[in-house]
Amino acid sequence: MPAFGEQTSAAEVLRPHAEDAFAAELAALAARDDRPRPARWKLSPWAVATYLLGGTLPDGTVITPKYVGPRRLVEVAVTTLATDRALLLLGVPGTAKTWVSEHLAAAVSGDSTLLVQGTAGTPEEAIRYGWDYAQLLAHGPSRDALVPSPVMRAMTEGTTVRVEELTRIPADVQDTLITILSEKTLPIPELGQEVQAVRGFNLIATANDRDRGVNDLSSALRRRFNTVVLPLPASPEAEVDIVTRRVDQIGRSLDLPSAPDGTDEIRRVVTVFRELRDGLTSDGRTKVKSPSGTLSTAEAISVVTGGLALSAHFGDGVLRAGDVAAGVLGAVVRDPGTDRVVWQEYLETVVRERDGWQDFYRACREVSA
Cβ of residue 97: shortest distance to Mg ion, in angstroms?
5
Q: Position 266: which residue type?
A: I
**Does the protein bind ligand ATP through residue 305 (CB under 6 A)?**
no
User: What is the number of alpha carbons within 13 Å of residue 254 lying toward its C-beta?
Assistant: 17
Q: Which listed option, Mg ion, ligand ATP, none, makes contact with residue 321 (CB within 5 to 8 Å by class)? A: none
Site for ligand ATP in 196-215 (CB under 6 A): 206, 208
Q: What is the DSSP letter of 350?
A: I
Residue 276 CB coordination number (10 Å): 24
Q: Which stretch binds ligand ATP (CB under 6 A): 94-102, 176-184, 187-195, 285-293?
A: 94-102
Cβ of residue 233: shortest distance to ligand ATP, in angstroms?
6
Distance CA(318)–CA(315), nearest Å, equals: 7
Q: Which stretch binds Mg ion (CB under 5 A): 98-106, 124-132, 148-156, 267-275?
A: 98-106
DSSP helix/strand/coil, 99: helix
**H/E run at residue 276:** helix 263-278
Which CB, 89 or 351, lies closer to ligand ATP?
Answer: 89
Which CB, 98 or 281, lies closer to Mg ion?
Answer: 98
The radius of gyration of the chain's CA atoms, rounded to the nearest angstrom, is 23
Distance CA(212)–CA(196), nearest Å, equals: 33
Spatial strand order of the sheet with 115-117 comes to 115-117, 160-164, 202-208, 86-91, 225-229
Q: Which listed option, ligand ATP, Mg ion, none, makes contact with residue 167 (CB within 5 to 8 Å by class)? A: none
Distance CA(321)–CA(326), nearest Å, equals: 9
Distance CA(105)–CA(110), nearest Å, equals: 7
Q: Which stretch binds ligand ATP (CB under 6 A): 23-31, 95-103, 126-134, 177-185?
A: 95-103
Query: Given candidates 44, 98, 167, 296, which one binds Mg ion under the rule CB under 5 A?
Result: 98
Which CB, 93 or 236, lies closer to Mg ion?
Answer: 93
Q: Which residues bind Mg ion (CB under 5 A)?
A: 97-98
Residues forming contacts to ligand ATP in the complex (CB under 6 A) are: 67-69, 91, 93-99, 206, 208, 233, 242, 246, 297-298, 301
